[in-house]
Amino acid sequence: MDYSSAAAYDTSLDLNTRPLRLFDDSPPIKKEVHSKILMDFGSQLSANEESGPLVEELHRVSAENKKLTEMLTVMGESYNALRSQLLEYMSKNPEKELSPISKKRKSESSNNNNNTSANNILNGINNGNSESSSSDGESCKKPREETIKAKVYRSYVRTEPSDTTSLVVKDGYQWRKYGQKVTRDNPCPRAYFKCSFAPSCPVKKKVQRSVEDQSILVATYEGEHNHTHPSQLEASPGSNRCMTLGTVPCSTSLGSSGPTITLDLTKSKSNTSDTKSPKPRTETPEVRKFLVEQMASSLTKDPNFTKALAAAISGRILQQNTY
DNA sequence: CGAGTTTGACCTGCGC
DNA sequence: GCGCAGGTCAAACTCG
């Protein structure tokens, strides 16, 4: 694959890390790397061949990328402001709901669309790629199981639009499907999975296509895994690989449906460490910086991620060429 | 043959 | 109490 040609395009994968602004004070690694690639590529180009139009295109795309980055930064700041307002509000009014959600069970399915007004805003900013809902709307679920206290979070995975039947979200864990149901507010069936990696693992997963965009799979996880991540036990390379990037769980999959990179940004810490407290992030700037560095080094060192990145970039290039 | 999936039946909670 | 809807069970089925 010709990686260098990819650099002339917008290679910034929308991994949704910036909008979430988990690491506010972190150095803009992606931007630096990106512009370095662009610079290297640009100098190579001008030195090796007089491809003026290409250089022009390079500059144009570079400027566009910069503009988009700025927009993302602004969005991220808005998100942060809203988020802090929300947290502030919630800490002041812990007993109040943000919106008059009825005690109806339907809140579970409806929180796809109309959870809370504040969450709606956050989701909008977040673009719905990956979003935390640990302050979930499922708390009014039936109290039959102790999972009522289990953490609920959700991840969004974009799939090939043509693939409207598969309800498989590859997150590295082993899941056993135990049921499927068509729910009222979504014509697409919802699939129920249990973690089959460890027999005693209480984690359940519900996967359903989004009503608005059926190419998006909404995976709702309930509970916490009581075992280590399978990829940590068997680090065998394969078409699917899961890894934990520092503290950000992430999975990449290179299936026939194209590369999918899922950053589980709903968990800012590792599975084992965040089982207790869903409290807001309190990392110091130093910690954040460390996390970012760790994440970046994990990314650059992992050959599979490089592969996935290359595949994603080529996919994007093809996509752009069709416009 | 075992593991995983499918699917209809059943259970449970909630609103009326 | 009844009906509705979400969640779960388990027998039948499929696949490697």
In terms of Cβ atoms closer than 10 Å to its own Cβ (0-12, 13-18, 19+), residue A141 is: middle
d(CA A79, CA A261) in angstroms, rounded, equals: 23
Tens-digit pLDDT profile for residues A150-178? 567 777 877 766 665 677 776 777 888 88
Judge whether A26 and A289 are in contact, CB under 8 Å. Answer: yes
Beta bridge partners of A217: A157, A209
Q: Which of A155, A154, A156, A201 is nearest to A176 (CA)?
A: A201
- Å from A234 (CA) to B3 (C1')? 20
Instruction: State, as a whole number of angstroms, the distance between the CA of A180 and the C1' of B8.
Output: 11
Q: Given pLDDT bands bounded at 50, 70 and 90, which one contains residue A307?
A: low
The mean predicted confidence, pLDDT, of chain A is 55
Which of the four pLDDT bands, split at 50, 70 and 90, describes residue A92?
low
Distance CA A287, CA A275 (A): 19
Whole-number Å distance between alpha carbons of A236 and A238: 6
Nucleotides of C under 7 A from a protein CB: 4-10
**Are the C-beta atoms of A203 and A218 separated by less than 8 Å?**
no
Phi, psi of A316 (to 5 degrees): -65, -40
Check pLDDT > 50 for residue A123: no
pLDDT exceeds cutoff 50 at A132: no
CB count in 10 Å sphere of residue A80: 15
- Residue A263 vs residues A13, A102, A182, A248, A250: alpha-carbon distances, Å: 12, 32, 28, 7, 4
Per-residue model confidence (pLDDT) at position A38:
41
pLDDT, residue A149, reads 47
Q: What are the DSSP calls for A193-213, one per residue?
A: EEE-SSTT---EEEEEE-SS-
> What is the amino acid identity at position A262?
T
The pLDDT score that the predictor gives to residue A301 is 52
What local confidence, expressed as pLDDT, does residue A161 receive?
61
Q: pLDDT tens for residues A241-292?
A: 434 333 334 444 333 333 344 444 344 333 333 333 333 344 445 555 555 5
Cβ-Cβ contacts under 8 Å for A95 (sequence gap 6 or more): none
Give distance CA A127 / C1' C16 (Å): 40
Integer Cα distance of A167 and A226 in angstroms: 24
pLDDT, average across residues A6-32: 38
How much is the pLDDT for A71? 73
Instruction: Say yes or no: Cβ of A192 under 7 A from any atom of strand C.
Output: yes
Q: What is the band of A315 on the pLDDT scale with cuts at 50, 70, 90?
A: low
Angle of CA points A192, A193, A195, to nearest 5°: 160
Cα–Cα distance for residue pair A158/A7, rounded to 1 Å:
24
Model confidence at A221: pLDDT above 80: yes
Tell which strand B nucleotides have any atom below 7 Å from a protein Cβ.
4-9, 12-15
H-only helix segments in chain A: 3-6, 17-20, 29-48, 52-92, 107-110, 117-126, 230-233, 285-301, 303-321
Split at pLDDT 50, 70, 90, the class of A201 is confident
C-beta separation of A172 from A229 below 8 A? yes
Beta pairing partners, A263: A250
Would you say the C-beta of A174 is within 7 Å of strand B?
yes
Q: Which two tokens stand for residue A89?
A: 């509000």
Q: How many helices (H) and strands (E) does chain A have?
A: 9, 9
Kindly determine whether the C-beta of residue A139 is less than 7 Å away from any atom of nucleic acid strand B. Answer: no
Residue A194 reports pLDDT greater than 60: yes
Q: Distance from residue A279 (CA) to nucleotide B3 (C1'), in Å? A: 40
The answer to whether the CB of A58 falls within 8 A of the CB of A45 is yes
Helix residue ranges per DSSP H, A111-183: 117-126
Percent of chain A having pLDDT more than 90? 0
What percent of chain A is predicted at pLDDT more than 70?
A: 27
Tens of pLDDT, residues A29-84: 344 334 444 444 444 444 454 566 777 878 877 887 777 777 776 776 766 677 66
pLDDT at residue A164 in the model: 59
